[in-house]
Amino acid sequence: MCFCTAAEAQWPWSKPKPKPTPVPRVTPNPKKIAKPTPPPRALPAPTPMVALPNYDEETSTRLQIFLDNRNFGPGKIDGEMGEFFRKALLSYKRANGMPMTGAVDEFLAEVPEAFTTWVIPPEALNFVGPVSSRPSEQAKFKGLKYGSLLELVCERFHAAEAFIRKHNPGINLDQLKPGDTVKVPNVIPFKIEDLREGFMPENPELAGRKVVIDTHERFLEIREGDKLIAEFPITPGSRTLPAPIGTWKILGIATLPWFRHDEGVLNSGVKTANFHNLPAGPNNPVGVLWMGLSKPHVGVHGTNNPETIGRAASHGCIRTANWDAARIKDLVTKGAVVEIF
């Protein structure tokens, strides 16, 4: 399981609780007390099975951008007809009361150009630094930054690295520098420079929303009443440490969190004295966001490897791409219900 803290004592649920006043212990009579039956939870409808056309790369890229810009995450932009792309397209149509067909002309009209260019600014180097896979070394860094400008470009434009390489032939992407121009998907970019280390304030306007996490379809939904507001692909735990099924609440939302790397917590949920505090940054194990749940040591968070979302396992938590995590924080608020099934 995961355990994250920007400064452990600041988390509202980590403050010591006063000892309760002792009360006499009473043994209830089981014949007189009946356990209430909890009401059944309303689960979202499964993604319908619809035969979609085999869109070409140009069309697929424009559709992925359309969906991504509207908070229906298709996964990384790669111009391919993947599982998350298909689910996102059908979910968007269902959410907007549209026919469940492969017709997409009106979507394409809103994304006339699949690509744009980005000139790397000098300040981009502020977000690139040394990398290591060893927590003992990571703990010594001032921040867990991108390992290269190419990694920054891919995450900024929600794209697969192979896709960026394919559309930038003749450019040495491993030696990028400020002033270089890169061809990128024409998506609303994820701006790491806009994030600050801290906690999101409560937003009363979002109090009626809830998060629904489907561990089978591997999607996180944000709902307001019966309306589907957004949907993002996730990695929901693993076979050995699955995401906790049940109903929980968001206890706090931290941006650019620090991470307490404790093998005891990661493997069995038990804190030990042998741990490393890893600094904030996009390559932090929990990425750019930690949304702590009322289930101890479990949260929704970002990732240091977006290529693995939906495919590689996590330690009991709900993992998303950083560009999706950065949007989730603005779509829900502290105290919201989180249903995991």
* Residue 93 dihedral angles phi and psi, to the nearest 5°: -65, -45
Q: Where in the chain is the domain with CATH 2.40.440.10?
A: 197-340
Residue 274's pLDDT is 84
Cβ atoms of 336 and 206 closer than 8 Å: yes
3-state secondary structure the chain: CCCECCCHHHCHHHCCCCCCCCCCCCCCCCCCCCCCCCCCCCCCCCCCCCCCCCCCHHHHHHHHHHHHHCCECCCCECCCCCHHHHHHHHHHHHHCCCCCCCCCHHHHHCCCCCEEEEECCHHHHHHECCCCCCHHHHCCCCCCCECCHHHHHHHHCCECHHHHHHCCCCCCHHHCCCCCEEEEECCCCCCHHHCCCEECCCCHHHCCEEEEEECCCCEEEEEECCEEEEEEECEEECCCCECCCEEEEEEEEEECCCEEEEHHHHHHCCCCCCEEEECCCCCCCCCCEEEEECCCCCEEECCCCHHHCCCCCCCCCEECCHHHHHHHCCCCCCCCEEEEC
Residue 297's pLDDT is 86
| CATH class of the domain defined by 197-340 | mainly beta
Residue 340's pLDDT is 97
Residue 60's contacts (CB-CB under 8 Å, 6 or more residues apart) are: 79, 80, 81, 85
Residue 45's pLDDT is 55
Residue 314's pLDDT is 55
Mean pLDDT, 10 residues at a time, the chain of 341 residues: 42 37 37 44 58 92 98 97 96 96 96 98 98 95 98 98 97 98 98 98 97 96 97 86 93 96 73 89 97 95 88 72 98 98 96
Residue 262's pLDDT is 85
CA triplet 73, 79, 85: central angle to 5 degrees? 30
Instruction: Report the largest interatomic distance among the alpha carbons of the chain, rounded to a whole angstrom.
Output: 79
User: What predicted TM-score, i.e. pTM, was given to this entire model?
Assistant: 0.84
Residue 46's pLDDT is 58
The pLDDT tens digits of the residues spanning 40-73 come to: 555 555 555 677 889 999 999 999 999 999 999 9
Q: How far is CA 53 from CA 57, 91, 104, 112, in A?
A: 12, 16, 10, 20
